[in-house]
Amino acid sequence: MVPLIVCQNEFCFRQDFLLKYKNHTEQDEIETRENLNRLLLENVLPAHVAALFVGENKKNEVRLCSVCFFNEMQALNGKSVHG
């Protein structure tokens, strides 16, 4: 009975280690992509404009930008925005 518990304990510790390692690796990849995206945006847009897309609420800002762009394109094409 004791060897079984030791084996299960070792397995749990190993799984915990692997999950922490994977999480750390994924976090590094996320930070690298965020930095790359920020650099690309700053290369294309002025710094103060690029700062709007890099931050805590970037998903909402991108959605808002997409909606505004969509509405402008419909207005330019002469189509009704609201039906």
The stretch 40-57 carries a mean pLDDT of 79
Predicted local confidence at residue 73, as pLDDT: 63
The stretch 18-26 carries a mean pLDDT of 93
Higher pLDDT, 21 or 1: 21
- What's the pTM value of the predicted model, to 2 decimals? 0.51
Integer Cα distance of 51 and 9 in angstroms = 48
State the DSSP H helix or E strand holding residue 42, giving kind and residue range, or none if neither: helix 2-44
Integer Cα distance of 61 and 53 in angstroms = 7
Predicted local confidence at residue 38, as pLDDT: 85
Using the 8-state DSSP alphabet, how is residue 1 labeled? -
